[in-house]
Amino acid sequence: MVQPATSMSTRSASILGSLCLLSAALTRISSKIL
């Protein structure tokens, strides 16, 4: 019962981390283009 919740939290955390990295990369690319 506890495992699914932990897996979901870790999954959401990994998704948030990947989104942050993507946003940082996008800002760098946009700054380079501009």
Query: 16 in helix, strand or coil?
Result: helix
User: pTM for this one?
Assistant: 0.61
pLDDT in tens, 1-34: 567 777 888 899 999 999 999 999 999 999 998 7
Q: How far apart are CA 20 and CA 2, in angstroms?
A: 27
Domain parsing of the chain, residue ranges: 1-34
* Measured CA distances, 12 to 1, 9, 24, 26, 33 (Å): 18, 5, 18, 21, 31
